[in-house]
């Protein structure tokens, strides 16, 4: 109970719970869309989804300043690749929150002349660029960790044993490919924080891809990916050891 209270007391915790509920509603609406006996339930789920979205926009009013402060911190990182990726991600995230705040103001009647479609499109563009930079950072971390593992004598012995115990294959390319996959899987398994962050960002990427028309899927895919990334966010927030650093 104490862990739940501590989690819900955090603004990020509340946002992720609302986000998970929002996308769970979206996925449920998609799955029930052709069920004639669930029309009333679908209407209620759509209303709940809108309320969750509105509540999240209200909670995010101060996130622009947080993203700017995060960008200032990542600019001081000694690793230039991490510095570039994380700073660019935080700057784009700050711009996304500015657009999101403007849309909130328009929805509550504070900015009636705002072009909602244009600002929504810009918000998803900044969100997309932020995710791309985060995924670039994840790929960099994975490659860096794979290089470290490949130089470890104990790991190389385990990999050679795995390859020797495998079935007879062509000597040219397949053994190297098998070794690469073994190295990748071992790296992700031994560093769950990196694996979870990459999976979360991949799931999130489907949302702006669909909204921007780059890769259109459907409301079910968007709802499922949003729910999965929200659940991963809840897990990493509840278990700080699973959160990628910096």
Of the candidate ranges 158-162, 167-171, 179-183, 196-200, the one whose mean pLDDT is the lowest:
167-171
Helix (H) or strand (E) holding 118: helix 116-150
Give the pLDDT of residue 76: 95
pLDDT more than 90, % of the chain: 66
* Residue 55 token pair: 């509540």
The SS3 call for residue 75 is coil
Of the candidate ranges 87-91, 145-149, 179-183, 206-210, the one whose mean pLDDT is the lowest:
179-183
Unique residue bearing structure tokens 């769950």 = 192
Q: Rounded to two decimals, what is the model's pTM?
A: 0.89
Nearest to residue 224, comparing CAs of 58, 25, 2, 68? 25
Half-sphere exposure of 16 (CA within 13 A, CB side): 19
Give the pLDDT of residue 3: 58
Nearest to residue 20, comparing CAs of 244, 241, 235? 235
Provide mean pLDDT across the span 12-38.
Answer: 92
The SS3 call for residue 200 is helix
Provide mean pLDDT across the span 140-168.
Answer: 78
Q: Please calculate the CA angle 165-171-175 and round it to the nearest 5 degrees.
A: 50
Residue 102 has pLDDT above 70, yes or no: yes
* Residue 164 token pair: 């020797």
């Amino acid at each position: 109970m104490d862990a739940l209270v501590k989690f819900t007391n955090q603004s990020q915790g509340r946002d992720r719970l609302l986000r998970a509920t929002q996308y769970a509603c979206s996925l449920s609406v998609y799955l029930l869309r052709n069920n004639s006996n669930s029309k009333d339930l679908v209407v209620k789920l759509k209303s709940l989804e809108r309320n969750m979205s509105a509540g999240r926009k209200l909670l995010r009013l101060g996130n622009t300043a947080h993203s700017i402060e995060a960008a200032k911190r990542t600019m001081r990182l000694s690793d230039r690749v991490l510095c570039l990726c994380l700073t660019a991600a935080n700057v784009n995230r700050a711009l996304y929150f500015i657009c999101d705040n403007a849309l909130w103001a328009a929805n509550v009647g504070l900015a009636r002349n705002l072009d909602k479609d244009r600002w929504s499109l810009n918000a998803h563009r900044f969100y997309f660029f932020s995710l791309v930079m985060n995924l670039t950072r994840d790929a960099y971390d994975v490659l860096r960790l794979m290089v470290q593992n490949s130089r470890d004598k104990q790991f190389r012995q385990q990999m050679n044993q795995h390859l020797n115990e495998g079935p007879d294959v062509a000597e040219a390319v397949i053994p190297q490919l098998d070794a690469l996959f073994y190295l990748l899987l071992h790296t992700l398994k031994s560093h769950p924080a990196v694996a979870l962050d990459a999976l979360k960002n991949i799931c999130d990427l489907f949302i702006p891809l669909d909204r921007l028309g780059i890769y259109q899927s459907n409301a079910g895919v968007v709802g499922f990916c949003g729910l999965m990334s929200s659940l991963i966010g809840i897990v990493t927030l509840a278990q700080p050891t699973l959160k990628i650093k910096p």
